[in-house]
Amino acid sequence: MAGWGIARCRRRGCRKTFLAIATIRASCSTAACWNCSAHPRVPPPQRRRPHHLRNRDEPMQNLITTSLRGALLTGLYFVGAVIAVLYLRTPADVTLFWPAAGIGYALVLRYGLRYALVIPLAQLLVHLLVVPVPATFLPFSLASNYIGTVAACAYVASRQSRLQLRIADGFLLLRGGILLSAASALVGAAGMLVAGMAPAADLPRVLLQWTLGDLLGVTAIVPFLLLFFARNLPVRLPAPSGASHRERLAWIAAMLLTLAVGFAIARRGSLYPLSIATLPLALLLWSAARYPPLFTAGATMLVTLLLALVLGLGLGGTDRPELLHDTALMMGTLVVNSVVPILLVASYNERADTMEALRVRATMDPLTGLLNRDAFEDLARTRLARSTEAQTLLYVDLDNFKLVNDAASHAAGDEALRHVATLVRDAFDNDALVAHSSGDEFTILAPQDVATATVAGRRLLAAIEELRVVWQGGTLRATASIGIAASLPPHASFDDLLSQVDTACHEAKELGGNRLLVAGQNAESLRSRSRMMRNALDAREALDQRRFELWCQPIVNLHAPGAVQTHFEVLLRWRDGEGRLRAPADMIAAAERYRLGPRLDRHVLDEVLDWLDAHRAAAAQIGQCNINLGAATLADDEFADYAAGRLRHSPLGPGQLCLEITETSVVRDLTRTRRFIARMRELGCQFALDDFGTGFCSFGYLRDLQVDYLKIDGGFVRDLAESRLSEAVVRSITEIAHLLDMRAVGEQVETEAQLVRLQALQVDYAQGYVFQRPVPIADFFGLPNG
């Protein structure tokens, strides 16, 4: 999945974990955290050898590295095999525990199949120096673990190219370990049978004992070695507990005490020696919940080794298992004890990754990697409330950036925004809060005085102007306007500062853009305000002259599709003074700001009902008509009565009308919103919560709102094919909707693939270009205009 993941900074002197795109994490061996990317640590200059000498030395260096690594792995395997020899009573016996199997499995997984050759080499040294075996058995002994390890590693590699600390990969390794153990046991048992070291009647015992011995070696050794030798494995601490060294020492003391008590009880003649193996499990689970994965894996390995030695050799007053079922029970218990703590560690790690991904989704902008608007505002308010030093707020708005999207495509605009975001982040120190506020706007709160921030802002303007982004054979360029507002302790409120920088930025745009203005220091500060007022006047003029037009887009039932006219949303377009058709975004924003929203919403309701009154045949086809309401209308106590009067004499019944309200407008005044919804539902109207999911506090108030539909924000729908997180969010919203007896609607569905995923996730309705682009209402119902 391409998306966010955890990586570790590779810069010298910095080992911080950070969030990176999965493709970068998997391919880039020099990925650096944001701090190091913004301020890279440049190593001191070193004297470099000539290029031809470096190329000549490289094969020799690689050979030396490979040889040393091979010698180290051979030594580790040899040591593991020697430990297992302690379990042998005779050369024809089968060891109860084979740690070398786990050593070979882990190191071949880590360094590649070519290092599997160290397994027969180390095995040969064991037979030459420690345990001689018959010549007929030697080839089988050398081949047993080699064949099993190669088969297991090939199996794991065919299903997962990059192992991570997660439960699925843990079970994959376990399946590979079972394959290794079974293959090794088959080859080894066949060798013992051919060499006459075991009679045919003992073949089941040999197979089971050999398999369990190898499997215990795998489960006890592999997790620790993989974590130890693969330091770049993306791992998070299991819990943000910050366990101290004192607590770890206490844990070690408790483990030693537990083992000592268990052995003391065993020496007194206990009939339950396996209790010694289960007593430490509670402490290992404690370790999994509190300490880093490497510590838990190491502790599990050491405890398993100790218990296997004590129980397998009959030390400390315990009895060595003699019967096959006793041996199987002991080995099975040790296998379970060595697996459970590691699975718990993987579970904690997965949960931590998921929580971090959700936190990033809630606070970071996925396009630029900067803070999003909500997170920035929360942090900025907190800083202004606590800061005792000067703070400066900057508002950066790219000039005419819509031209880039229109001329080159939105993908080109996104690429340009990513480059601009890098410039914005690099222009300020790490202490500054930097956010991608909306489409082409950035906000910065810097702990600087206005003079210092102005210098940084002018450097940023120059950098943006010089920026050239190559895109499909062309070059993308941009300029920006910046507004600045300074604050000294005790600081002004964030809303006041934002209003000031917004004014200054609009002033800069009015003056032609590509400039910086400081709030309160320019004589033309009212020009920006007048611009917003002109937009409001344009909205009033368009209302007076009835220059708004009704457009429609269908909402399709995914389980029982019907005619597109059955269920649809009414959208607005308007014509300017020159007759050009324009989207109403700027005008609606101005109307909302200057309290024209309720009048605009009444106009839309009137237009819809008047058109349907004039086209009653079209009205008869309607199952449900959706109309959007602004935030100010929800606080208008008279709108409900007005709507009731209009619906009373309309061919459109209240039950056919669905009012769409946005999530952000709901949270402005939740009490009034509830009262408004209750009043309209008394008439029979339905409600849809639009753009649902843009705020992660949604579920907290959802149960208190009587809405019928949740319209899932289009950003999640568009990312369904690439983001497992988006899929999880869509699934969660749908399940919550069904739990609350609501229906889920996927917005901005553009492809058939997205539509198929929505159907698979049990989403009820969908809306978007995949069905039909918005068209004038007459065209929507197949009627002539006029």
Residue 395: how many other CB atoms lie within 10 Å: 25
Fold of 534-780: TIM Barrel (3.20.20)
Q: What pLDDT sits at residue 688?
A: 93
The answer, yes or no, to whether residue 19 has pLDDT greater than 60, is: no
Q: How far apart are CA 218 and CA 227, in angstroms?
A: 14
Per-residue model confidence as pLDDT tens digits over 44-88: 444 444 544 445 556 667 677 777 877 878 888 888 887 777 665
Q: What string of DSSP letters covers 541-582? A: HHHHTT-EEEEEEE-EESSS---GGGEEEEEEEEE-TT--EE
Confidence of residue 594 (pLDDT cuts 50, 70, 90): low
What average pLDDT does range 286-307 have in this prediction?
Answer: 87
Q: Which two tokens stand for residue 96?
A: 């109860």
Q: How far apart are CA 156 and CA 145, in angstroms?
A: 16
Please, is 775 exposed, middle or buried when counting C-beta atoms within 10 Å of its C-beta (0-12, 13-18, 19+)? middle
Which comes out higher in pLDDT, residue 766 or 59? 766
Confidence of residue 635 (pLDDT cuts 50, 70, 90): confident
Fold of 71-234: Arp2/3 complex 21 kDa subunit ARPC3 (1.10.1760)
Which comes out higher in pLDDT, residue 322 or 70? 70
- Whole-model pTM: value is 0.50
Of the candidates 185, 182, 195, the residue with the CA atom closest to the CA atom of residue 92: 195
Confidence of residue 674 (pLDDT cuts 50, 70, 90): confident
Q: What pLDDT sits at residue 421?
A: 92
Which comes out higher in pLDDT, residue 341 or 317? 341
Residues 522, 483 contacting (CB under 8 angstroms): no
Q: What pLDDT sits at residue 130?
A: 82
* Residue owning tokens 């690429």: 415
Confidence of residue 25 (pLDDT cuts 50, 70, 90): very low
**What are 690's strand-pairing partners?**
662
772 Cβ contact list (under 8 Å, min separation 6): 553, 554, 564
Q: Which two tokens stand for residue 770?
A: 């995949």
Which comes out higher in pLDDT, residue 597 or 223? 223
Q: What pLDDT sits at residue 1?
A: 33
Q: Which two tokens stand for residue 745?
A: 């609607």
Which comes out higher in pLDDT, residue 583 or 431? 431
Q: How far apart are CA 280 and CA 283, in angstroms?
A: 5
Confidence of residue 777 (pLDDT cuts 50, 70, 90): very high
CA 75 to chain centre: 41
Q: What string of DSSP letters covers 654-719? A: GGGEEEEEEHHHHHHSHHHHHHHHHHHHHHT-EEEEEEETSSTTHHHHHTTS--SEEEE-HHHHHT
Q: Are strands 516-518 and 480-487 parallel, antiparallel or unpaired?
A: parallel
Task: Pick 373-524's CATH classification: 3.40.50.880, 3.40.50.150, 3.40.50.300, 3.30.70.270.
Answer: 3.30.70.270
Sequence ranges of the domains in the chain: 1-40, 71-234, 236-362, 373-524, 534-780
Cis bond upstream, residue 490 (ω within 30): yes
Q: What pLDDT sits at residue 240?
A: 41
Q: What is the mean pLDDT of the chain?
A: 80
Q: How far apart are CA 464 and CA 407, in angstroms?
A: 19
Q: How far apart are CA 201 and CA 184, in angstroms?
A: 19
The answer, yes or no, to whether residue 546 has pLDDT greater than 50, is: yes
Confidence of residue 3 (pLDDT cuts 50, 70, 90): very low
Residue 128: how many other CB atoms lie within 10 Å: 10
Which comes out higher in pLDDT, residue 89 or 513? 513
The answer, yes or no, to whether residue 764 has pLDDT greater than 90, is: yes
Residue 30: how many other CB atoms lie within 10 Å: 7
Q: What pLDDT sits at residue 84?
A: 73
The answer, yes or no, to whether residue 444 has pLDDT greater than 90, is: yes
Per-residue model confidence as pLDDT tens digits over 194-253: 888 888 888 888 888 889 888 988 999 999 988 888 654 444 444 444 567 888 888 888
